[in-house]
Amino acid sequence: MTAPNGAATPLSRYGTRVPTVSPRKGRTSVPTPTPTAGTTAARPVVTPTATISTMIVCLPDGLPSQALTATQLDRHFGVSGALQPRFWASPSMWLWQRRHLVAPRKGRPVYCAGGPVKLLDLAAMRHAAGVGAGIRHQLWQRVVHGTRPATPWSTLLARHLADPARYPRERAVADFHHQPRVNAMRMHNAASHGGGYLSVGELEMFQAGPMAYQHYSASTAVCGDALLTPDGHKLAPASDALTHWVTYLEQANRYLDTVEADQRLIAVAL
C-alpha cells in the first residue's frame, strides 16, 4: 500500500518527488570513506615570504643623528642596511632647513634619505611615480598585445612550497618563463636594454589594469616595501601577491597620512 499524497516519497531540492530506490538482494551498500586520523584531506596553504628591499623607518623622538649609520640602524631598529636617497625635499624649504635632512644630495629636486615630513614633498613623489607608471603601462600593453593573461610567479611559488616533491622549483620556474606574455616582456627588455624596462616581477600589478598599476607605483614610491613605526611595529605585505600588497599599502598610506609634521622618516636599502 502506498502512503497517501506520496508522503513516503522524499522531495528533491527543487520540490519534485523522487522515488525511493531499494538496493537489490545480495548487494550491500558501500559506505562513503571518511578520512582517518593522520591523513591529509587537502594540500596545505603556504604563503611565500614577501620581497623586501626598501624599508621606511619612522624615527622615535629624540633619536640623535649619530644613530643613522649602518651599525647603529641594526642596533636601534634591528635593520641591517644602508641609508637610501629616495625622498624629495620640499622646494619651499629654506636653506637653513637643509641641515635637518638626512644625507641630502645636490640637484633639483633635492634627493635625500629622509627628514621631517614637513620638509619632504611626498605628494610630488606620488604624482611623479603615478605619471611614470601610466606611461609604462601603455608601453606594456603594446608589448604584450595578443598574449593571454599569465600566471604570476607568486602563485607558482606558493604551489611549489605547498608540495615541493610533486612540483619542484625548477618546474615552477620553467612554467613561469614558458608563458607567452612573460616571454613578450623579456624580449622587450632584451631588445631595449636600458630604456623602458618592464619588470616581470610586476606582472600581476600590470595585469590589474592601468589605474591599479598607477596607484601601486605611487604608493610604493613613498611607502617602500615595508614600514617600521616608532614603537617598533612593522608593516609589510604577507607575500608578493597583489592582494597582500594592497593590504600593506592601504595600512602604510593611512599611517603616513596621520603622522605629525615633525615626524622624521628615513629610507633604508636592505
Q: What is the pLDDT of residues 78-126, one digit of tens each?
A: 777 899 999 999 999 998 999 999 999 988 889 999 999 999 999 999 9
Tell me what pLDDT residue 129 has.
Answer: 97
Cβ partners under 8 Å of residue 67, min gap 6: 73, 75, 76
Tell me what pLDDT residue 194 has.
Answer: 74
The neighbour count for residue 172, using CB atoms within 10 Å, is 20
Tell me what pLDDT residue 61 has.
Answer: 85
Angle formed by the axes of helices 169-177 and 180-191, nearest 10°:
70
Q: Quick one: pLDDT band at residue 267, thresholds 50, 70, 90? A: very high
Tell me what pLDDT residue 44 has.
Answer: 65
Q: Is the pLDDT score of 188 beyond 60?
A: yes
Q: What does the radius of gyration of the chain's CA atoms come to, in whole angstroms? A: 28
For 161, the grid coordinates are 612550497
Across all residues in the chain, what is the average pLDDT? 86
C-alpha–C-alpha distance, residues 170 and 175, integer Å: 9
On whether the CB atoms of residues 113 and 85 are closer than 8 A, the answer is yes
List C-alpha distances in Å: 10 to 28, 29, 110: 22, 20, 79
Cβ partners under 8 Å of residue 98, min gap 6: 89, 104, 110
Mean pLDDT value across residues 209-225: 98
Classify residue 120 by its DSSP letter: B
Mean pLDDT value across residues 204-214: 98
Q: Is the pLDDT score of 13 beyond 50?
A: no
Q: Is the pLDDT score of 14 beyond 80?
A: no
Q: Is the pTM for the entire model greater than 0.95?
A: no
Q: Is the pLDDT score of 251 beyond 80?
A: yes
Burial call 121-132: b when 16+ CB within 10 Å, e when fewer: bbeebbebbbee
The neighbour count for residue 98, using CB atoms within 10 Å, is 14
Mean pLDDT value across residues 138-150: 98
Mean pLDDT value across residues 120-148: 97
Helices then strands, each counted (H, E), the chain: 8, 8
| Bridge-based pairing state of the strands 82-83 and 54-58 | unpaired
Higher-scoring residue by pLDDT: 160, 69: 160
Torsion of Cα atoms, 114 then 120 then 124 then 126, to 10°: 50
Q: Is the pLDDT score of 17 beyond 90?
A: no
Tell me what pLDDT residue 79 has.
Answer: 76
Mean pLDDT value across residues 20-35: 49
Torsion of Cα atoms, 188 then 124 then 105 then 59, to 10°: -110
Torsion of Cα atoms, 243 then 245 then 250 then 253, to 10°: -170
Q: Quick one: pLDDT band at residue 42, thresholds 50, 70, 90? A: low
Q: Is the pLDDT score of 21 beyond 60?
A: no
Q: Is the pLDDT score of 196 beyond 60?
A: yes
Q: Which of 270, 265, 267, 252 is nearest to 59 (CA)?
A: 265
Peptide bond into 109 cis (omega under 30): yes
C-alpha–C-alpha distance, residues 8 and 2, integer Å: 8
Q: Is the pLDDT score of 241 beyond 60?
A: yes
